[in-house]
């Protein structure tokens, strides 16, 4: 094992002198007692590493030259370390950076040859040309709408060309290019003192990209995420304007384009003003809500109705800022518009339970299928729990029973529903459906047995016990089942499947059996070994408790 401080005494003077002529660069300690550097040997450069211990002994080394011996390059690094305890690289002459094959080829080219090659390369690689222009082209400080349009158009064309769809890697390349291309535009828009112009040009960016999204199929969601983050950054800048009067002027102008315009607006513009509201502070939200409020007052007078999806957005703004009570007549229930209707009803619940109840009933009556009724029944349940008769609440609980599947609800329905005929149908349907779904929905067994227990129908419960009935359920009703029919109960429980039982539950049931039956009865019931998978374990447990195993 070589020691750093004694290397020069371990090799011949000839080898030492050769090693000293080599150049060391980029020497560093990458982790404790591990050192690396480049050793330049004429036109080649090698990556060398050392491991040493606390005694400065070399415990490991490697060299890119491939030699397994202690080569000249390793020796040169060792001598350097012994002579330069500070770790600073000496400035030896002839130090050259290790060059790649491409770098060496470029060193032999003149500028004209390189330019010619690049121009030919760019003809076939438009995305590379765009990347080159973004890196080395003339940097602009201002951008007109035409320039913004051309920049985005050329960037997208450099990747997409005339294709109608892009793969995920191509979309990533495009987003990376767009991010770099738009960065100086974003900076310009944020620094531009004319905020109205900035908003207009930002919307131009969105519109252009949206047009291309309609023309080209983009794989994945990366493009949508790019636009979302672009919008978030710009709106953060706009909503951070310290001059509130200036912000109000911008907000009012753009919101009026939506609220008062006779012409269609673009999706990108609508998303922009909605997010302007959503990302605003309370004062900014209240200002926008005030604009919407005043406009709705005018719409009520002229009987103007927004499209439901837009009305739903306006409803959220009005409700959040406390104007719903004043404007509730504008937000009427609309057939089949469940998302909007539920928001209206949730606001009515805060101010008028009777109106909310009536709205729910109107919608239920108009729904073409019962599956759409559930959320409205759930609302009615809340209303009747606070302000309704037990019969009303029982009716609703009967309608939503298959969603709650609760023994408490079943009992409430049975004791409070006044429609005897419907109640009878409900009971029969409940027991039949629960029993038919024991295998597909094992949790239904527990409810089925709980219903029979409530009805004290233990004869039917005994008939329902099979080898898959969980032992834990049998334990709940063991005493009552035993009293109903001792012999039938014994026969019902003798086969237990391991997958429907735990050893702890089996212990409880076995103790119960031993307390109720004598050894001869248990021997007769559990002495045979042909009951099926898992039953042998329970049989042995029972018999062991009476000393028969």
User: pLDDT tens across 6-45, in order?
Assistant: 888 888 888 888 888 888 888 888 888 888 988 888 878 8
If you average pLDDT over residues 475-492, what whole number do you get? Answer: 95
Residue 91 has pLDDT above 50, yes or no: no
The lowest-confidence range among 280-289, 389-398, 500-509 is 500-509
Pairing of strands 23-31, 34-41: antiparallel
Residue 50 tokens, joined = 């050392």
Classify the phi-psi angles of 4: left when phi > 0, otherwise alpha if psi is within -120 to 50, otherwise beta.
Answer: alpha
Q: At what angle do helices 486-493 and 503-516 cross, to 10 degrees?
A: 150
Res 287: pLDDT: 97
Residue 82 has pLDDT above 60, yes or no: yes
Residue 115 has pLDDT above 70, yes or no: no
If you average pLDDT over residues 151-165, what whole number do you get? Answer: 84
Count how many Cα atoms sit within 13 Å of the Cα of residue 187 in the half-sphere of its side chain: 10
Res 264: pLDDT: 85
Strand intervals (E) in 42-100 = 44-52, 58-63
CA 306 to chain centre: 33
- The percentage of the chain sitting over the pLDDT mark of 70, rounded to a whole number, equals 87
| Helix or strand run (H / E) with residue 29 | strand 23-31
Q: How many CB atoms lie within 10 A of CB 310?
A: 13
CA distance 214 to 207: 11
What length does the chain have?
549
Res 499: pLDDT: 67
If you average pLDDT over residues 108-112, what whole number do you get? Answer: 61
Cα–Cα distances in angstroms (integers) from residue 29 to residues 33, 47, 87, 88, 210, in the given order:
7, 14, 8, 11, 52
Residue 479 has pLDDT above 70, yes or no: yes
Q: With cut-offs at 50, 70 and 90, classify the pLDDT of residue 121.
A: low
pTM: 0.64
If you average pLDDT over residues 264-279, what whole number do you get? Answer: 92
Residue 293 has pLDDT above 90, yes or no: yes
């Amino acid at each position: 094992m070589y020691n750093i401080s004694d290397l020069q005494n371990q090799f011949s003077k000839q080898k030492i002198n050769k090693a000293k002529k080599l150049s060391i660069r980029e020497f560093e300690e990458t982790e404790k007692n591990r050192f690396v550097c480049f050793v330049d040997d004429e036109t080649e450069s090698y990556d060398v590493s050392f491991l040493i211990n606390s005694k400065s002994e070399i415990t490991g080394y490697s060299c890119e030259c491939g030699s397994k011996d202690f080569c000249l390059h390793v020796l040169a690094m060792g001598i350097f370390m012994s002579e330069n305890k500070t770790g600073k690289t000496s400035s030896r002459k002839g130090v050259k950076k290790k060059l790649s094959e491409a770098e060496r080829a470029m060193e032999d080219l003149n500028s004209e040859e390189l330019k010619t090659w690049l121009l030919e390369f760019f003809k076939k690689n438009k995305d590379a040309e765009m990347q080159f222009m973004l890196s080395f082209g003339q940097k602009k400080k201002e951008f007109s709408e035409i320039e913004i349009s051309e920049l985005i158009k050329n960037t997208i064309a450099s990747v997409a060309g005339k294709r109608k769809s892009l793969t995920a890697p191509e979309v990533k390349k495009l987003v990376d290019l767009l991010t770099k291309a738009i960065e100086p535009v974003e900076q310009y828009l944020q620094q531009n003192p004319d905020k109205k112009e900035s908003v207009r040009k930002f919307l131009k960016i969105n519109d252009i990209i949206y047009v291309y999204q309609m023309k080209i199929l983009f794989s994945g969601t990366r493009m949508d995420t790019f636009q979302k983050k672009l919008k978030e950054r710009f709106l953060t800048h706009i909503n951070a304007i310290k001059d509130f009067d200036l912000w109000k002027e911008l907000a009012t102008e753009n919101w009026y384009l939506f609220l008062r315009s006779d012409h269609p607006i673009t999706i990108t513009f609508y998303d922009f003003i909605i997010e302007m509201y959503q990302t605003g502070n309370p004062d900014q939200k209240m200002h926008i809500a005030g604009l919407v409020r005043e406009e709705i007052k005018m719409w009520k007078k002229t009987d103007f109705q927004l499209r439901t999806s837009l009305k739903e957005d306006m409803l959220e703004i009005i409700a959040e800022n406390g104007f719903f009570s004043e404007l509730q007549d504008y937000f009427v229930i609309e057939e089949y518009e469940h998302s909007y209707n539920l928001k209206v009803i949730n606001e009515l619940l805060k101010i008028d339970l009777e109106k909310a109840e009536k709205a729910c009933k109107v919608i239920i009556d108009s729904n073409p299928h019962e599956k759409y009724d559930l959320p409205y029944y759930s609302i009615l349940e809340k209303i009747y729990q606070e302000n309704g008769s037990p019969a009303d609440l029982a009716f609703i609980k009967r309608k939503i029973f298959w969603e709650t599947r609760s023994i408490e609800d079943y009992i409430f329905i049975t004791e409070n529903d006044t429609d005897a005929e419907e109640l009878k149908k409900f009971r029969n349907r409940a027991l039949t459906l629960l029993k038919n779904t024991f295998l597909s929905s094992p949790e239904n067994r527990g409810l089925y047995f709980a219903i029979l227990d409530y009805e004290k129908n233990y004869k039917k419960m005994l008939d329902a016990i099979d080898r898959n009935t969980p032992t834990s359920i049998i334990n709940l009703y063991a005493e009552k089942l035993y009293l109903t029919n001792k012999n039938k109960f014994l026969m019902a429980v003798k086969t237990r499947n391991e997958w429907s039982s735990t050893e702890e539950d089996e212990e409880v049931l076995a103790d119960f059996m031993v307390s109720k039956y004598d050894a001869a009865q248990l021997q007769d019931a559990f002495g045979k070994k042909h009951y099926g998978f898992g039953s042998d374990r329970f049989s042995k447990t029972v018999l062991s408790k009476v000393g028969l195993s």
